[in-house]
Amino acid sequence: MANSSASLKEYGRDLRTPRGPVDIPFLMLTLLLLTIGVVMVLSASYASAYYDLNNETNGNATYYFARQLFFALLGIVIMLVASRLPMSFYRRFSFAVLAVAIVLLMAVLVIGTKSHGARRWILIAGISLQPSEIAKIGVILYFSVLICRYKNLMGTFKYGVAPFGIILLVIIGLLALEPHLSASIIIILIGAIMMFVGGARLFWFIGGGIGVAGMLFIALNVLQYSADRISAWRDPFADSGDTGYQIVQSLYAIGSGGLFGLGLGQSRQKYLYLPEEHNDFIFSVICEELGFIGAGLILSLFALLIVRGYWLAMHCRDRYSFLVCVGITSLLAIQVILNVAVCTNLIPCTGISLPFFSYGGTALLMQMAEMGIILSVSRDIPDARTD
């Protein structure tokens, strides 16, 4: 009985234990952001879809919207299913998720689809998948298992650094071959957060930070596209017709929105001026159409969702659920912050999507699954129940 009790405290309830309802505030915030995101995809994408810039829409102005709506509805189903599965299920299959992600990352280098000079997607049964999205949740789930396993040894190099570092090096190495710098940065940050929360010594983070800085320095001096992005970030208007074009158009869109915006559907930059207007730079269209107030309200909704996620983490009844909840919430926060920073030129331009808003099936489905996992965590928190 002692071992059973310890396992319960460490990993949570088993399949036979009754559970409560999901956390309603977190659920409603997720659905509200998802709904606004689908509407904004319609507004931002219909011009480029009509002109068929990517030779895939056949002039159908609602092409991207229809697909995003389909993935949103499917994502809701996935979220609800994920919320029904106990945390013991995710613990049991955490290594399998990470292993599948690594295998797909290797496969994408061989049979992946190439776009914009990078090979980041793989076609499986006619569906385009981005393995880096699976790798993010794989790292969170399996790192949580390792931290629980080595909870009293996280201050050592052998158990608190080495296994985590090896996993990160394998994933980052595969992403570097695509190349996919933005996903590498996000996964490094998530890994560092998980290790820090798990109890790894601060000394190892200093050493790791120096190593990451060294790799970034090499990347910026070896990879020409990275050097160009740094130059465009420092002065986008110096070459506004080439390397600085995307960020200049983004700043035009944000600036023209003013306080109240031009109105929903009234963006001018989406008419073939702003690249990736329905994807990585959809926040710029939001600012142009809804203005500072509208964009501020959307960011406030994200802030409420993130705060609620951390609140649920702080009220978890077991360590594994706490770690998973912190990891997923931190992933959401990182992607929102970095996307907004890119659109406003606070950091160099790189491909980071805005959760629930940017067009993309794999990313949206994974995000909804991640929200479902947090909702699963909430079902074991008495204080979060509303019945």
> What digits encode the pLDDT tens for the residues 68-112?
999 999 999 999 999 999 999 999 999 999 999 999 999 988 887
pLDDT at 227: 65
112: DSSP letter: P
Residue 16 has pLDDT above 60, yes or no: no
Residues 121-162 have pLDDT tens digits of 787 766 778 899 999 999 999 999 999 999 888 888 888 889
Judged by average pLDDT, the poorest of 35-49, 75-89, 292-306, 340-354 is 340-354
Side-chain-facing half-sphere of 18: CA atoms under 13 Å: 2
* Higher-confidence position of 223 and 203: 203
The torsion angles phi and psi of 128, rounded to 5 degrees, stand at: -85, 120
CA distance 384 to 364: 26
Task: Report, as an integer, the average pLDDT of 38-67.
Answer: 88
pTM listed for this prediction: 0.89
State how far the Cα of 387 lies from the Cα of 76, in Å rounded to an integer: 22
Contacts of 325 (CB under 8 A, 6+ apart): 309, 310, 312, 313, 316, 374, 377
Structural tokens at position 145: 């298992």
- Residue 176 vs residue 203, higher pLDDT: 176
Q: How many angstroms separate the CA atoms of 345 and 38, rounded? A: 25
- Mean pLDDT for all residues in the chain: 87
Enumerate the domain spans of the chain.
Answer: 19-382
Burial class from Cβ neighbours inside 10 Å (0-12, 13-18, 19+) for residue 20 reads: middle
- Give the span between the Cα atoms of 286 and 274, in whole angstroms: 13
Concatenating the DSSP letter of every residue in 309-353 gives: HHHHHHT-SSHHHHHHHHHHHHHHHHHHHHHHHHHTTSS-----P
pLDDT at 252 over 80: yes
Residue from 185, 221, 236, 205 nearest 350 by CA = 185
